[in-house]
Structure 1
Amino acid sequence: MAELIKFELGKIFSKKSVWILILAVLWAGISLVTRQHIMLKLNGIDGVKEKQKILAPYEGEVITKESIKKLDDYHRTIRKKEKPSKEEFLKSEDMYFDYTVNIDPAYIVDNQQYKEIEMRTQLDKLKKEGRTDTFEYKNLDYIHNLVKEREIPTYHHKMSWNYSADFMRISTFLSTLVALGIATIFSNDYQSDVASIVLSSKNGKNKLIKAKIISAVIFSTIVFIISNLSFLIYTAIENFNGYNEPLHLLRYLESTSFNITILQFYIRGLAISFMGLILFTFLAMLVSLFVKNNMIATVITLVVYHAPTFICDFMPTEGLYKIFGQLNISELMRIEGMFRNTDTYNIFGNPVLYSNLLITLALISIPIVLYMTVHFGKKQTL
């Protein structure tokens, strides 16, 4: 079995396209650090340590609407300055990015936007009307309980996490790597005219199928680790600053329903994204079983990943739009929307966050798709 796994891994990693994309992933991660280093040097700042020393006096400053407006005006002024000082540059760029977050975001509930105080008002109204047993009330109350107790917003340098935890960008690399490396794992045997030999051999429909599955999982795990470590370098050089800050103070995730830290978000994101990657890997293998042409199998695999987003661009934002846009493999791998949005589904009269529903569907789907891969793999015919 070990020899078969080694053989299958060798076939996957022998593809030039796979190595080109792996190098592209490494460059994407390293370039984040390079650009940061160049920007600091151009403004006379001697690396990350000096930057953190300059910004240290502002750490823990309470963020208010007034202070955001003041910094926004400062940002506009400094950007017009021909040669700002070190502190001016850092305040108007790095600090500005982390400071000017939405401290009073709107949350989506039943396709309507509510701020926290508006939720309380609407809940009181529904109570007075005696509608506490309705899904509308349960849903609003559920989301309100998740977001009502938030820490006082304070400034902390944490912008590197927006790049290191860019699961959307990373998942694009990963889905393409799976399409290039895994989508041909069965079809290549037919296209290279070795299927007749493989299927007639003693282990052709048993051990070899298991070896292909194991090698596919190993490949996906390797590229997952490489991709995420490449992007984590940026935050590592920044000494993981801001890891213990609330997630809702991370730019673009202000309206999250999760009361967790940035580090907890990152760890959960890794786990969920990896789950999605494994499911996508098994789907790619299933496509490869039924499509005996390498190019078509690769294209179909990429379509499985990108199609839901593409379809939503042409759908009205009602009805099936929500299902197509949220309950799909790309959302599972990208994960950002799962933590950013507060959308729920009515499950037997109870509100369930779409992130929890999507994870549940993935956990159910993985063994089913794996079983189908083994089942149809053993039934291969020429």
Structure 2
Amino acid sequence: MIELIKFEIGKIFSKKVVWVLLLAVLWSMGSSIYRDARVLKFNNIKNKEQVQQIVAPYEGEVLTKERIKIREDYEKKLRKKDNLSPEEFVLSSILNFDYTLDIDPDYVIGDKEYKKSELKKDLDKLKQEGKTDTFTYKNMEYIYNLIDKKEAQTYHYKMEWNYGADFQRMAPFLSILVIVGIATIFSSDYQNNTASLVLSSKFGKNKLIISKILSSLVFSTIIFAFVNCVFLSYIALDKFKGWNQALNSLKYLEATPYNITVIQYYIRGLMFSFIGIILFTLLVMLISLLVKNNILSMLISLGIYSAPVFISSFMPTKQLAIIFRQLNLEELISVEALFRNTDTYNIFGTPVLYANLLVTISVILIPIVAYTIIHFGKKQAI
């Protein structure tokens, strides 16, 4: 079995396109690091330690509308200057990136957007009307209780986490690597007319199918670890500065319903994204087994990943559009929307965040798809 797994992994990594994509990941992050270094050098800044020294006096400040307005006005004023000092550059761009957050974000609940105060007002109104047993009330109360636990946003230098933990940027690399590496794992045997020989061997009916599944999962685990480590190196250069800060103080995630830290977000994000990659790997394998054509297998696999969001634009109802846009593998692998949105689903009268629903469905589907591959694989071998 081990020799079969090694053989299958060797076949996957023998594809030049896999190595090209892995190099593309290195180039993508390397170019970002080089760009940052050039920007700092252009503005006469020695290194990021100097940046952190400049912003140090602002560390821990509680963000208010007044303070944010001051920072925004300062940035507008400096835009009129031709040459900025190192301190002016840092305070007008790098500081403002983490400072000018949305401290009163909108939360989407049903078809409406609410500020926290508006949500509380509508909750009180429903309570006065005696509608506490309705799903609308339960849903609004559930979201309000979540966001009410969040900490007040404070300034801390942590902008590297927006890039190093950018799951949305990693997702295309991972999905394409899975497609080019796995989509031909069964179909190539049929197109090369080696399937009948292989499947009639003593390993054909059982061990070969299992070895292909295990080798594909090993490959996906390797590329997942590689891509995430490459991106994590960006944060490591700053010694993971800001890892213990509240998630709602991270740019673009101000409206998160979760009261967790940045590092907790990253760890959960890794788990969710990995679940998505494992499920996607198994689905790509199943397609390869059933289609028996390399090109068609790759196209269908790409469609499974990217088509749901596109199809959602043509759905006849808004609810169907939301389902297609949210409950798909692209959302799970790219992660960020799972932590940014407050959308819920009515599961037997109980509001469930769509992130929890999507992860649960995916975990349930993994053994089902694996069993389906084994089942149809054995039938193909007969």
Q: Fold conserved (TM > 0.5)?
A: yes
Partner of 2:48: 48
* Partner SS state of residue 244, structure 2: coil
The reply to whether residue 352 of structure 1 matches residue 352 of structure 2 is: yes
Partner of 1:361: 361
Partner of 1:274: 274
The question of whether the paired residues in 1 share the 8 Å contact of 2:200 and 2:381 is answered with no
The reply to whether residue 7 of structure 1 matches residue 7 of structure 2 is: yes
Inter-partner Cα distance in structure 2 for 1:317 and 1:149: 34
Inter-partner Cα distance in structure 1 for 2:150 and 2:178: 40
The question of whether the paired residues in 2 share the 8 Å contact of 1:247 and 1:265 is answered with yes
The question of whether the paired residues in 1 share the 8 Å contact of 2:204 and 2:381 is answered with no
* Partner SS state of residue 51, structure 2: helix
The reply to whether residue 237 of structure 1 matches residue 224 of structure 2 is: no
Change (3 A) 1:76 1:273: same
Change (3 A) 1:256 1:298: same
Partner of 1:146: 146
Partner of 1:175: 175
- Structure 1 residue runs of 4 or more that deviate by more than 6 Å after TM superposition: none
Give the CA deviation at 1:313: 3.1
Map 1:242-321 to 2 at 5 A: 242-315=242-315, 318-321=318-321
* Partner SS state of residue 202, structure 2: coil
Give the CA deviation at 1:151: 2.0
Q: Report % sequence identity.
A: 58
The question of whether the paired residues in 2 share the 8 Å contact of 1:255 and 1:340 is answered with yes
1:202-244 residue CA offsets vs partner (Å, 9 max, x unmatched): 1012111111111101100010011111111111111111111
Inter-partner Cα distance in structure 2 for 1:252 and 1:333: 18
Inter-partner Cα distance in structure 2 for 1:269 and 1:107: 21
Give the CA deviation at 1:360: 0.9
Task: State the AA in 1 paired with 2:146.
Answer: L
Map 1:171-250 to 2 at 5 A: 171-250=171-250
Partner of 1:373: 373
Q: More displaced, 324-333 or 281-290?
A: 324-333
The question of whether the paired residues in 2 share the 8 Å contact of 1:188 and 1:294 is answered with yes
Give the CA deviation at 1:3: 0.9
Give unmatched runs, 5+ long, in structure 2. none
Map 1:10-89 to 2 at 5 A: 10-89=10-89
Give unmatched runs, 5+ long, in structure 1. none
With structure 1 as the length reference, what TM-score do the two structures score? 0.98
The question of whether the paired residues in 2 share the 8 Å contact of 1:28 and 1:231 is answered with no
The reply to whether residue 122 of structure 1 matches residue 122 of structure 2 is: yes
Aligned alpha-carbon RMSD (Å) = 1.2
Give the CA deviation at 1:379: 1.1
* Partner SS state of residue 153, structure 1: coil
Give the CA deviation at 1:177: 0.4
